[in-house]
Structure 1
Amino acid sequence: DVDGVLSAPEYRDQGEAVIGFTEEGWQHWCEEEEEAGYRYCKPLPPVRTFAEERKKDGSRLFVLTATAGELETKAKEVFVREHYPALFEAVIPVSHENQKVAVIKELAKENGIPLTQCMLVEDTLSTLLQAHDAGICAVHVSNIFAGNVSG
């Protein structure tokens, strides 16, 4: 996931911090900012280190993230490319968090990988529980504002 896992969300409008968006406000933000929508967001070094260790161990890494459309997806791809270069094979968008486990199951099946060898790193509890119930290792990321940001 990007929001709250790979990035600490931070948004600014005319120099002022923006805390939360309505759905309409988020769509407007994405339209206005386009690829730069995540430019104020900060990467999370502990998550980067965790991902780098998995990659070093031979794991294939993907970003599976809920997006509200192409503009948000593109902004997330730019963020991942800038802050996590060469770490992830792809950013895979889903329209809702509850689709993530189904995508993992599909990718695992296509690649002949048992679900017990798959891992979801996530901040949404319901998605983590869904992954756990499917036999996928579920790693919870929380407390992102405890000085664990860079940039």
Structure 2
Amino acid sequence: MKRFGWLILVLFVGFVGCDQNIVYKEYVDFEDGKWSVKNAPSFTFRIEDASIPYNIYYNLRNSLSYGYYNLYLTRYLRDSSGREIESRLDELLLMDPKTGEPNGDGLGDLFDHKVLIKRNYRFPKPGLYTIQIRQYMRQDPLLNVLSVGITVERANGASQ
């Protein structure tokens, strides 16, 4: 029984330790799994320390019924004044193009993807930042995409 208690403690510390680097994590759900081109979710977060690097990720949830192996997204990074710092078109590979095997973590028909946008990114200064995401596929609405979001984490080794 004593070993079981230690195992629970180790697992708890491991789970708590994993989330300490997360600065921001948010999702937006799409009604009926339909993502319209007009629906461009925005995610606003605060950076307290601009001297350390951050990793930024897309978070995406889709069903296995999603009709493509990839997903094109346009992202816009803006500072607190609304000035655009960066815009970029990204391709996310949701399934292996040759085998059709889904990427990401799956549970039943649903798959979650965490895709790196920027590694060791340094924000210009402390303050509020907004990332806006727009789907850039030919289908409108895009079916079987359940949610999209972002995660901003302190890069490994960055102090808190």
After TM superposition, is the score higher than 0.5? no
Higher relative contact order (CA 8 A, sep 6+): 2
More strand, by proportion? 2
Q: TM-score, normalised by structure 2?
A: 0.28
More helix, by proportion? 1
Q: TM-score, normalised by structure 1?
A: 0.29
